[in-house]
Amino acid sequence: MTFISYAYIVLFAVALLARVTIGRSSNAKPYLWVLLALSLIFYGWFRWWYLLILCGTATVDYYAAQLLVRPSLTARQRKQVLAVSMISNLGVLGFFKYTNFALGSIRAGLGYFGIAAPWQDAITITLPIGISFYTFQSMSYTIDVYRGLLTPARCFWRFLLFVSFFPHLVAGPIVRALDYLYQFDRPRRIRAVVVTEGVALIARGLFLKMVCADNIGTFLAGIPAISDGVWDKGYVRGADSATLWLWVALFSAQIYCDFAGYTDIARGSAYLLGYRLTVNFRYPYIASSFSDFWRRWHISLSSWLRDYLYRPLGGNQQGRARTYLNLFTVMLLGGLWHGAAWPFVLWGGIHGTALAVERMLGLADRARTPATTWTAALAQLCWSVPYFVVVQLVVALAWVYFRSDTIAHANMFAANLFTAPQWTLDFREPSLRLMIVLLLPVAALHLRQLAHETARFPVAAPFERAAWAAMMLYLAATVYGRANAFIYFQF
């Protein structure tokens, strides 16, 4: 089930009904049971057997955590228990997500040396939706219990609800047990502030997804078997660079609106149901450096990678060379997490390289250092504005690899971007004009945040937020695009 569906409206209405009837107190077990049942319906709605995988990995992690806190266990045994949990999660993820990628890559590698692989075709494996998200959630739980940061969940069904809670189940944010489990016992009174905030988040999410992301997505990708999109024209040698830069800008906006819109709906839905999910996006296109970008984009993933991969690898504590290597490795794996295809790996590699180079040259620190005199401020402006442009251009260029189906196509697209423009865009075309208009709200959201962060421009007051929410809801009901699946569902 997706958020943009009529089935979800029905499911969410049932959840809300439960919230206002049996879910008003802090420890309302029936309410939690209803949420669990609805979460399982939400996930099983795609394919019922997805539930077996979800419940299977959750069972292993739940019992692993219970074992980890037994005082009778030696350090070695605790490590073994943790290993079982990790292997079960990564094994499931690896099988469903990376089997064909591995087989295909080995076959290509053997072919390079003139050796024919004994297998020819890819195996038909359906990737369960959201598996990358919930396995990471589940893993963070056992690791935190192992590290002694967390007491295990009291009972299995509570843990299962943490893993399967429908607002965050299939596309995040990647919730940590530390931030979530305690909320089961927290008072859950219904307050006007919470309701208006939740509705405003949902309205913004619907606007970003249905108006911006869906319209741009259809324009770029077309409708399967009915119409062609424009993005693929960038794979042809000699395509107009000016046009392609616009497509890149549109895709940058689309992926932000798609994912941030999803997160807003998820957070708003959870909020209305009495739970708080972590913020996942903080206006990434105003990032002043690459490290700043990763503090603003898909925050729950980048912080997960930082805490459970970068730091265990040694982080920045084992010398400069190792730090750069760690950054690169983590981003490479981050790219692979997104999708089992080489363009994603390259996308991660671009970001990993950029982060390592930035750290090597100390560029991020320079961008962050506050200026004390006006001359220093002017000098910093002269430095930070061009660097901001460089950062955003590299981010945009990396999206080309994220969006393209093969590296060869992405390379061709990228090469076309740096040719002389031919200015073939026809601005009389209504759909193109609409696309340009759709870039404006994304730009406006980011500019307002920039003004807030740099010039202390006030955040929106409740009445202003309410007016914006009403307008966004109106536009979502009248300018919605053709429904496209959320991009991050495929991960």
Partner 1 sequence: MLLSISSSSRLQIRHRALAAGVFGLIVFAAMVAAGNAWDRSFPSTRFDTPYRDGVPDVNREWYLASEKDVLDYDVFYHGWWGTPQALRRADVLFLGNSRAMYAFRAEYFQPYLDVLGVRGYNMALPSGADAFPLAIIRKYDLHPKVVVVNSDAFFANDLTSFGAWATERSDWESWRLYYEYVASWTARKYLHLLLPPWREYLLDRRYQVMYRSASTGSVRLVVGEDDQRLMTPVSPPPISAADEATADGMVPSQLRNLQVFREEVAARGAAMVLTLVPYGDSMPLVLTRKLSAISGVPFIEEWPVGLEGAAGSHMNARSSKRFLDMLMPRLLAEPAVKVRLLGQPALSRQSSDSWSLRP
**Enzyme catalytic residues:** 338
Q: Is residue 427 within the footprint of partner 1 (CB under 8 A)?
A: no
121 or 373: CB nearest partner 1: 121
Nearest distance from C-beta of residue 7 to partner 1, angstroms: 7
Of 421 and 462, which CB lies nearer to partner 1 in the complex structure?
462
112 binds partner 1 (CB under 8 A): no
Rounded Cα distance, 189 and 50, in Å? 34
Contact string (CB under 8 A) for partner 1, positions 197-216, x = contact: x-xx--------------x-
49 binds partner 1 (CB under 8 A): no
Cβ–Cβ under 8 Å, residues 421 and 241: yes
Q: According to the binding rule CB under 8 A, does residue 463 interact with partner 1? A: yes
The minimum distance between CB 97 and partner 1, in angstroms, equals: 20
> According to the binding rule CB under 8 A, does residue 313 interact with partner 1?
no
For residue 51, the minimal CB distance to partner 1 (Å) is: 14
Which CB atom, from 246 or from 460, has the smaller least distance to partner 1?
A: 460
Q: Which is nearer to partner 1, 43 or 159 (CB)?
A: 43
Decide: is 7 part of the binding site for partner 1 (CB under 8 A): yes
* Residue selected from 226, 372, 375, 423 as contacting partner 1 according to rule CB under 8 A: 226
* 286/14 Cα distance (integer angstroms): 39
Our finding on whether 462 is near partner 1 (CB under 8 A) is yes
Q: Which is nearer to partner 1, 7 or 178 (CB)?
A: 7
Determine, following the binding rule CB under 8 A, whether residue 482 of this chain makes contact with partner 1: yes
Q: Does 45 bind partner 1 (CB under 8 A)?
A: yes
Measured from the CB of residue 431, what is the shortest distance to partner 1 in angstroms? Answer: 6
Site for partner 1 in 165-194 (CB under 8 A): 191-193
Stretch that binds partner 1, among 112-120, 136-144, 388-396, 457-465 (CB under 8 A): 457-465
Q: What is the dihedral of CA 209, 211, 213, 216, to 10 degrees?
A: 170
* SS3 of the chain: CCCCCHHHHHHHHHHHHHHHHCCCCCCCHHHHHHHHHHHHHHHHCCCCCHHHHHHHHHHHHHHHHHHHCCCCCCHHHHHHHHHHHHHHHHHHHHHHHHHHHHHHHHHHHHHHCCCCCCCCCCCCCCCCCCHHHHHHHHHHHHHHHHCCCCCCCCCHHHHHHHHHCHHHHCCCCCCCHHHHHHHHHCCCCCCHHHHHHHHHHHHHHHHHHHHHHHHHHHHHHEECCCEECCHHHHHCCCCCHHHHHHHHHHHHHHHHHHHHHHHHHHHHHHHHCCCCCCCCCCCHHHCCCHHHHHCCCCHHHHHHHHHHHHCCCCCCCCCHHHHHHHHHHHHHHHHHHHCCCHHHHHHHHHHHHHHHHHHHHCHHHHHHCCCCCHHHHHHHHHHHHHHHHHHHHHHHHHHHHHHCCCHHHHHHHHHHHCCCCCCCCCCCCHHHHHHHHHHHHHHHHHHHHHHHHHHCCCCCCHHHHHHHHHHHHHHHHHCCCCCCCCHHHHC
User: Considering only residues 71, 118, 148, 224, which one is a binding residue for partner 1 as defined by CB under 8 A?
Assistant: 224
Nearer to partner 1, 2 or 135 (CB): 2
Question: How many residues belong to the site for partner 1 (CB under 8 A)?
Answer: 40
| 254 is an interface residue for partner 1 by CB under 8 A | no
Confirm or reject binding of residue 51 to partner 1 (CB under 8 A). no
- The answer to the question of residue 458 lying near partner 1 (CB under 8 A) is no
**99 vs 196 by CB, closer to partner 1:** 196
Stretch binding partner 1 (CB under 8 A), from 67-75, 131-139, 159-167, 473-481: 473-481
Q: Shortest approach of partner 1 to residue 215 CB, angstroms?
A: 7
CB of 198 to partner 1, least distance (A): 11
Which residues here bind partner 1, judged by CB under 8 A?
A: 5-7, 45, 47-48, 191-193, 195-197, 199-200, 215, 223-226, 430-431, 434, 462-463, 465-467, 469-471, 473-475, 477-483
